[in-house]
Structure 1
């Protein structure tokens, strides 16, 4: 029992000898890792009082439970139950996945409790941490945050409901003693589950009313990510770190689109290509890079999987074979941006817009906008109102058609074919399957036509209108997937949230100060920004204590002209134009029963029933609303004439559609049967509903014989011909037709059943009437407008067209924006959009400039100069036709410009690329052709201009000659000298050639085109021609003031910008009150438009009146106009009678103050002073 060496001691040379001497050849040793001599495990073992498994189990049991373990098995079972029993806890697939990933263990995802291996890995990780190796987790990393999708949230609610139901069933089973008499219905109550689901959809913070202002708003709302809600954060407790942009959000969550205000960073949007995997982590796609070559293989990575890889940008330069063209490529690895050789790159982005959400990816030149303004731009696009005449943007990003399709706003052809019918309500496409049925597919023609029903003037949640318009005509061929009808805010299948307008950036008489906007009357006249809004007004008919309300036309104390638009039941007719105060639905409510006077008793005795005592409670058009009634819907619990008529009409519509479909089936059936019978011999053909022969047996059915036969009169059930195959095919066709008819009948019956069912209404409501009003709103002063770059403003002035600044060609601009809105906001994208939009408008193409790889300034500048030449020709009334390249030529031109070498890798400004560079042999043929066309045009223009100059000089010479002749001796010496000098100059000029004339006029560029070919400078000539027309190569223009007709002093940026009208319309906000409801306690008018309230006259407004010394106005404001109850009724009386106004009394708020003081136990009395005091 001698201790040779204590456990935990180091095994040096001496102890080793000592052990060998004592004959011990085998020892258990603890080997620490080679990287660091960790003392932790050694120290723990030294401290640990237990030395065997049994002791350890007892020790653990004693820690968990009071007292000792009865035996070893109990202790082991307790430990097993605590850590390794799936019934006790469940990590879930996600928990197991995260543990595997973090601890680098490999346990199947189905094993959702801890394993021994996990504990070893946990201890290893903790030791590494204490020794300064390893890393701690970042709570804001997207690898540690997951998306709980709708399905998962509902599943959780289901499990809550089911567990409640299970508990109820157990309780009921324990209460019930007689198992024989128990039925399933006694035990199971499904309401427990449905109540939980209804509560989730009805009142959960994450169940929201869909934002439907326009298609983009709808799409974005469906892609929204929120950190709020049950189990999430609260606005008040969320710090800065959670809200911040994190590097792991790249390609998963948009760093731009988030609300301003308390929710910033907590509510975000899914990026363009982001998707949620089955574990709830957001993945984004990358192109795989192998051995320095980019492949077309796509791999989806979650944030934690991406950690170890280097990712190149989508616009890193790559050749045709997929090899990077530079030695070092800018990459992203975690939160660092190293320059790496191609061999060390693992992945590459799929597209530059991968980083941002859909709304941000719709902003052209996003890369030139400050992030704060881009945020406003993406949020405001969602608030744009669909216009009556939407226009697709001249400058887009190429995502417009994708958004229009994916939002479901447009109608897309399911199959290819030819359009056979188009109305405002439906489009029918003939898919060309008119070969008739075969033996395998009888009646194939039934599938021949695709029918598309269009939505007409549906109301959205935000009162805007959904209206689909056909894009195709009868006879047009359509492809599968082609857009056949436009929806709200789309044009030609492209998203169109606003309109393209001609803009000038300049101050205009101070009217566009501080983000105000001046617009031309043309936009109002041409309905450029008019929109349709549909309001829904409701009327409830209730059962009151004093009797039932009723809908009627007989309304007390209402003139007949007020009822002119109501039908016999008291409901407004569809198509009526209504204005504020008009009656929409007449309704009367019974007043309280009163004791009858002797006179009333007499009348009752004579006329039977007493004249009813009712008050008018009709639905009227609220103030500030006017329009046309487009629909009325009636819902009812009880049967009455009003409902019967409405239901009859709806059932009639269903039956009409049913009969139409059946007739179509019959006509297809008759066609096919006639084809099958052709050339056959009749065995049996009876008349419909009789046993009389239609055609005798043995008749040969030739083409002429079949033309005489009306198959509608033939009994098809008993029809037989001699040929058995033909018989079978006729039978098959009839069977298919019967099946289709049965389907249609069943569908119609279902719809009719739904119509006949009593409607579910809130308690106490017997009937509900909904009236839909459509109103057209033109743009007006006070409406909010915005571009796509966060450039928002309020319309401050609508100016007559003739007063707007106008261009040298006489065209007035549509909108004037303040140039001070650009520099400090740093959203220069709007200026580039203006230039490119100008060029696109002149040349008639649509520009697509995707985010982060769009047109640079040099490309935009060159296209602008080409367009400028096309604009300058007509402006200067030149005879030569300017070159107008089409979209394809422009596309090729831009591609060529990207291939040209540049000084610092990108276009520095609008003028850094010269037209002369287009003559390079390295460029495509179409670009060189464009260059030659431009040069030829400029040459023709130079000759024409020289001709004009010569004419001017000749006129000058003639003028001097005539003056000298006419003046004769009357002219003084000095005057003669001046005229002679002028004549000499003119004669010299007349003798000059065209080139010299142009040089003298200060146009060396144009002159160079008429000289030797090698010296021509096309760029200089083009710039000179533009300047002659009043346009500078920097995209600026000389403008004239429409008011005075004078030129403005400096050049002004003019172009085409895309502006939207936002759903902050002045008509919804403007409000005035005369007499209305008052608050019960303070007796002051209520607040807010919805309550028909007043405006608060607050502390600062009181100061303003005090400053003016307007004592009486101030006194009225604080008394009779507010809460002096007696005073205000006396004032009303005085106004009605035309008397002078009485003195104001005591405001009610003073009485409230007195009562509050009294409640605090202070004796406050009014009037007389305490006794004994004067």
Structure 2
């Protein structure tokens, strides 16, 4: 017989290992795609947990703390705030991994004692000390090495290995060091002053050796940092004036940029750090021309860009992703940035993406911001915004939700996707086509049916007459139940895509699934009260008020401000970077240019003053503001400027929730918890104490009985409220019945007495047959869940 690969190799163990890693490992995670930066940051994440690693419980402070070996390898700022603090971290901007899996960081090599073999240019270099060869003083200190001398010396064999003690200089050669390789070497900062020959200018210089900082002679320097942002991660290096922010707030700023929702019309920051372009390109969302020669744009279509090389006439086609759904439900959309006939150079921009403005990362908007109090509405970090931001869709974002329905084989027969659903009105089926599936373009809301589905249900043995009637008249409505897919509570929008998969056309459908339907619903979310906003400096807040534009404070030229922040939110938090950004942003707007201020090498306070002066603005950054309601000026001048503000993924529409009736737990008979289960709010032990302290006995009794697990009482109360009658006394809660039953299971006899020591009769079966008469009103929530 012929041998086959399947007979020789058992692939099951390999497949099981792969499936376990990608399906069950802590290190294989669902990618965070809220915006391009969150995707980039997630790919660069480091974890001390997972298989063979630490656990949260065992990890002490020492493991979590910043260590000197992290320098240039692990960011000291970006880490979660919760129990994972210090265990999950981020790669620094220039960090890499060597062939052994160790982290390394680049440094520029300093040339001190160099030979011909090292390959450095020696011509023009000056000796720092006498060169003694074979006990003879060959060259004197301070003597420059000219070309003729070097040519003569190079021809002498024994001079090949002689090292010339030159004045230390930056060689331009990069060396990647792991933590142990760097140990004991003197590293000078990036700002080390060099003369025109690249030599270290000062005799003495501040250096870092391991965890210690020293003042060393320039002859002892081994390496120089390659960049001031070398020590921080990509999200952290996007914070302007980072050096003026407290580390705790910088941490929040780094983490919140990853939560920024892509907006309808992105806008690059007026005050940038210079990393925006690189971050956008490396995220992979922006499309650039990768051909070897310049090309002409031939076709620009909504879903693709086509180019042809000018010289070779070779075609290049780039597909664009249109209104795709990210893992977090945000919108991924690429738009062409070229026009037909345009000539593009290699590396040129072809299409920008969501959260990008041209080639730059653009997570938020530049708003005219005032730091002042306004009627107490910005108390405790609350934010006041102008109605203009809502009306002009400044902070509008698109969110896409997906729903999947599967028709399976069941023990009682196959499920069916159909429009023919028993006991459902034609009105409820208005969005479904003849096949029972919602059509593209339908505007659906909460509880609307998007896919009609029926499931066979068990029934008793049919009589001969029933069988005869069924044979004559067809299927009876009683044999199937409605299991249609409804739009969940709080969701609404436009159906943008419907995919139908059948077993015949898609044989790789899951086992037991005959028919599957996938529906995508897109919604436009305008900014509203309760949404969370933040700047890049950890200055976060929730919108408390949306004021009409005419009521907002305005400048002397009549320009109303867009946002009002509380001045108390800046001083104690020690994130002064936001104020410097505010002033610089206003100057950048007046001068009509973007201002780039890299981290740890940015504009000084004096330079910010000069910018304000150049823009014709007061150097203290304060202006006279007028009350939009009265037209009178405020008592004192107010700090006003342009700040880059983000709208975060914590949207109030996704979090708001309320319940009157709903599902109850099968055992305790108490309402379930959480929005997903349509649950109630837990009234816990401490909340009971609070009402006891106030003596609110009736409210407390209601909370613990008819609003919770008094099964009969809650039905009667609902009935009384609907009929407008007096609400009856609460009964015995189910939790008490459960306690009595548990005590009886231990063999204890339990009797209940009132305060006059008379026995109280109560049934241990709460599910008494009581049918409320509500005059045709249905009480929802009489379903019970384990």
- TM bin, normalised by shorter chain, reads 0.7 to 0.9
Equivalence for 1:432:
310
Change beyond 3 A, Cα 1:347–1:540: same
Equivalence for 1:208:
29
| Structure with a larger share of its residues in strand | 2
1:193 is aligned, of 14, 27, 44, to: 14
Equivalence for 1:519:
385
1:622 is aligned, of 466, 474, 488, to: 488
* Displacement of 1:187: 6.1
Change beyond 3 A, Cα 1:1172–1:830: closer
Partners in 1 of 2:487 and 2:81 — Cα distance?
A: 35
2:548 counterpart of 1:800: yes
* Displacement of 1:608: 5.4
Equivalence for 2:154:
none
Partners in 2 of 1:343 and 1:1038 — Cα distance?
A: 56
Partners in 1 of 2:728 and 2:280 — Cα distance?
A: 64
Equivalence for 1:1091:
677
2:404 counterpart of 1:530: no
Equivalent position SS for 2:665: coil
Equivalent position SS for 2:571: coil
Q: Is the 8 A contact 1:427 1:470 kept in 2?
A: yes
Equivalence for 1:758:
507
Equivalence for 2:122:
none
Q: Is the 8 A contact 1:223 1:270 kept in 2?
A: yes
1:472 is aligned, of 331, 338, 341, to: 338
* Displacement of 1:196: 1.2
Equivalent position SS for 1:865: helix
Equivalence for 2:432:
566
Partners in 1 of 2:515 and 2:24 — Cα distance?
A: 25
Equivalence for 1:264:
85
Equivalence for 1:249:
70
In the TM superposition, 1:456-605 aligns within 5 A as: 456-596=322-462, 600=466, 603-604=469-470
Partners in 2 of 1:1130 and 1:206 — Cα distance?
A: 53
2:109 is aligned, of 256, 266, 288, to: 288
* Displacement of 1:1103: 4.5
* Displacement of 1:1092: 1.3
Rg (Cα) greater in structure: 1
Equivalence for 2:767:
none
Equivalent position SS for 2:203: coil
* Displacement of 1:561: 2.3
In the TM superposition, 1:79-158 aligns within 5 A as: none
Equivalence for 2:38:
217
Equivalent position SS for 1:297: strand
Q: What does the per-residue CA deviation read over 1:1108-1150, in whole Å, with 9 as the maximum and x for residues that have no partner? A: 6554433322212211112222333444445443332111011
* Displacement of 1:319: 2.5
Partners in 1 of 2:93 and 2:230 — Cα distance?
A: 6
Q: What does the per-residue CA deviation read over 1:999-1053, in whole Å, with 9 as the maximum and x for residues that have no partner? A: xxxxxxxxxxxxxxxxxxxxxxxxxxxxxxxxx3201111011122111111111
Q: Is the 8 A contact 1:413 1:481 kept in 2?
A: yes
1:347 is aligned, of 205, 219, 223, to: 223
2:269 counterpart of 1:403: no
Partners in 1 of 2:721 and 2:422 — Cα distance?
A: 27
2:284 counterpart of 1:418: no
* Displacement of 1:281: 1.1
Change beyond 3 A, Cα 1:1138–1:863: same
* Displacement of 1:581: 1.0
Change beyond 3 A, Cα 1:329–1:1172: closer
Partners in 1 of 2:375 and 2:475 — Cα distance?
A: 72
Q: Is the 8 A contact 2:751 2:759 kept in 1?
A: no
Partners in 2 of 1:554 and 1:570 — Cα distance?
A: 8
Q: What does the per-residue CA deviation read over 1:370-423, in whole Å, with 9 as the maximum and x for residues that have no partner? A: 111111111111111111111110001000000000010111112322211112
Equivalence for 2:651:
1065
Partners in 2 of 1:226 and 1:1171 — Cα distance?
A: 64
Equivalence for 2:47:
226
Q: Is the 8 A contact 1:1124 1:1146 kept in 2?
A: yes
2:294 counterpart of 1:389: no
Cα RMSD (Å) of the superposition? 2.3
2:725 counterpart of 1:1132: no
* Displacement of 1:433: 3.4
In the TM superposition, 1:936-1085 aligns within 5 A as: 1032-1085=618-671
* Displacement of 1:200: 1.1
Equivalence for 1:362:
238
Partners in 2 of 1:1173 and 1:1153 — Cα distance?
A: 18
2:570 counterpart of 1:813: no
Partners in 1 of 2:432 and 2:182 — Cα distance?
A: 68
* Displacement of 1:352: 0.4
Change beyond 3 A, Cα 1:307–1:602: closer
| Structure with a larger share of its residues in helix | 1
Change beyond 3 A, Cα 1:1154–1:1173: closer
* Displacement of 1:538: 1.8
Flag as ranges the 4+ runs of structure 1 deviating above 6 A: 180-184, 1168-1174
Q: Is the 8 A contact 2:396 2:526 kept in 1?
A: yes
2:143 counterpart of 1:322: no
TM-score after normalising by structure 2: 0.86
2:523 counterpart of 1:775: yes
Q: What does the per-residue CA deviation read over 1:228-285, in whole Å, with 9 as the maximum and x for residues that have no partner? A: 0111111110111111111111101111111111111111111111101011111111
Q: What does the per-residue CA deviation read over 1:182-235, in whole Å, with 9 as the maximum and x for residues that have no partner? A: 997566421112111111111011111111111111111111111101111111
Partners in 2 of 1:833 and 1:183 — Cα distance?
A: 68
Change beyond 3 A, Cα 1:511–1:184: closer
2:193 counterpart of 1:306: no
Equivalence for 1:1118:
704
Equivalence for 1:333:
209
Partners in 2 of 1:184 and 1:293 — Cα distance?
A: 62
1:1141 is aligned, of 718, 727, 731, to: 727
Change beyond 3 A, Cα 1:184–1:810: closer
Equivalence for 1:931:
none
* Displacement of 1:290: 1.2
2:100 counterpart of 1:279: yes
Partners in 2 of 1:495 and 1:331 — Cα distance?
A: 35
Listed as ranges, the gaps of 5+ residues in structure 2 are 113-167, 761-786
Partners in 2 of 1:798 and 1:1150 — Cα distance?
A: 48
Partners in 1 of 2:45 and 2:236 — Cα distance?
A: 14
Change beyond 3 A, Cα 1:604–1:1059: same
Q: Is the 8 A contact 1:312 1:331 kept in 2?
A: yes
Q: Is the 8 A contact 1:293 1:342 kept in 2?
A: no
Partners in 2 of 1:1041 and 1:572 — Cα distance?
A: 51
Change beyond 3 A, Cα 1:1170–1:867: closer
* Displacement of 1:287: 0.7
Change beyond 3 A, Cα 1:332–1:562: same
Equivalence for 1:703:
none
Q: What does the per-residue CA deviation read over 1:506-530, in whole Å, with 9 as the maximum and x for residues that have no partner? A: 1111000111111111111111111
Partners in 2 of 1:222 and 1:765 — Cα distance?
A: 34
* Displacement of 1:1161: 4.0
2:535 is aligned, of 787, 790, 799, to: 787
Which is bigger in relative contact order (C-alpha 8 A, separation at least 6)?
2
Q: Is the 8 A contact 2:753 2:759 kept in 1?
A: no
Equivalence for 1:440:
none
* Displacement of 1:568: 1.0
Partners in 2 of 1:258 and 1:308 — Cα distance?
A: 28
Q: How many residues in Structure 1 have an aligned counterpart in Structure 2? A: 703
Q: Is the 8 A contact 1:789 1:830 kept in 2?
A: yes
Q: Is the 8 A contact 1:546 1:593 kept in 2?
A: no
Change beyond 3 A, Cα 1:1056–1:1172: closer
TM-score after normalising by structure 1: 0.58
* Displacement of 1:835: 0.4
